[in-house]
A and B are shown apart, each in its own frame.
Chain A
């Protein structure tokens, strides 16, 4: 067993997937800055956004190195168009109300922590190093979002109704979290990434316990999303990129 993924293309793919989901999630949360329901939540969401954007920088810097084509983290973040993005559908979902943001975050944080724990024990030293660093931050994210899911689900009639609505919107994005393609399957067989079946089983067990505490339950999924990791996205991502990439598109190479 080598201590580095030997196929540069697969390494680039994995690193981009990790970086893209962190960056888009972070950008979405940053949309709450100055606009959250309370000052404390404003700080919390901005802090979590900052963690995720910092994590995205680590992943995308490593991705650019793996690619070896002279691109930088900024090139990857600001100069790729929709079809080149490798993030999950879940993270590009619009914020909606605070309850929907928190449910989306809880689904993502649970998945994110399990994934990073698995990666931290994987055999690629650079990837396991970044995973070990970032998972400590994600533990705090999960504690925050799971707490809110319980408070809002088991809260007032209005907050409960909003969480039921949030479940209807977020759950179609759940099956994609555990989707496995050739890239993942190969890396899984080589011990670089955690076994997806185990990850899914743990996610379902943990989420079902928290939802039940929140007096909520998973609705049946009739229209699952798919393919984010290979560049298929909803219309929402284009609008997000238009805002996030505006400056570098209008003034390429601008620095300050």
Chain B
């Protein structure tokens, strides 16, 4: 692999760190596990970039916006010839959310998944309030403001909050 190709790859990853989910604008698409791969190749001096992304939920309306945001962010960084492609398999899971992504979710007031979805399956225990940290919480609705969240309430501080569903 040539130095240009590897440098471009690192630069692309750096730029993708600044692209956020349009519905959770404080968490990057890399930290959410939406970016699956970045391939860079050198076609006789022409650097081609391919970014593979995967949808969180099948009906996620944010995918198109995410594709555009990737193109625009890379364009601003002077990286052209970018193809963004969707892959479905292996299916996205919340287990791919990074530790930094989990911290960002919590700071935004969204409780990150309380379990590893693929190993344990969804459970509804140990879900803590993102504000006061209490584990005295109860579910209000299994479905929330977006496909990936459920609506919960803290029985200690009485505030409602979003819970990022294990998936």
| Number of B interface residues in the complex (CB < 8 A) | 23
Cα of A140 to Cα of B124 in the assembled complex, Å? 13
Partner of A51, one of B57, B91, B165: B57
Task: Return the chain A residue nearest B90 by Cβ.
Answer: A132
Complex alpha-carbon distance, A40 and B151, angstroms: 8
Closest to B87 in A: A129
> How far apart sit A226 and B141, CA to CA, in the bound complex (Å)?
36
In the complex, 22 of the A-B residue pairs with CB atoms within 8 angstroms, ordered by the A residue number, are A40-B151, A43-B145, A44-B141, A47-B144, A50-B147, A51-B57, A51-B58, A51-B147, A54-B57, A55-B59, A57-B58, A57-B59, A58-B58, A125-B89, A133-B55, A133-B58, A133-B88, A133-B91, A133-B92, A139-B122, A140-B142, A143-B142
A130 interface hit (Cβ, 8 Å): yes
Complex-state Cα separation, A55 to B91, whole angstroms: 13
Contact residues in A for B131 (Cβ distance below 8 Å):
none
| B contacts, CB < 8 Å to A | 55, 57-61, 88-93, 122, 140-145, 147, 151, 165, 167
Verify A129–B142 contact, CB threshold 8 A: no
Q: How far is the CA of A41 from the CA of B143 in the complex (A)?
A: 8
- By a CB distance below 8 angstroms, the chain A residues around B61 are 50
SS class, residues of chain A in contact with chain B: helix
Residues on B with C-beta less than 8 A from A47 are 143-144, 147
Given that A51-B58, A134-B58, A137-B57 are contacting pairs, would A58 and B88 also be in contact in the complex, using a CB cutoff of 8 Å? Answer: yes
Contact B58 A43 (CB under 8 A): no
Is A133 a contact of B89 with CB atoms below 8 Å? yes
CB of A161 within 8 Å of the partner chain: no
A132 touches B89 (CB 8 A): yes
Q: Is A151 an interface residue (CB 8 A)?
A: no
Partner of A43, one of B55, B57, B59, B141: B141
State the CA gap A55–B93 with chains docked (Å). Answer: 17
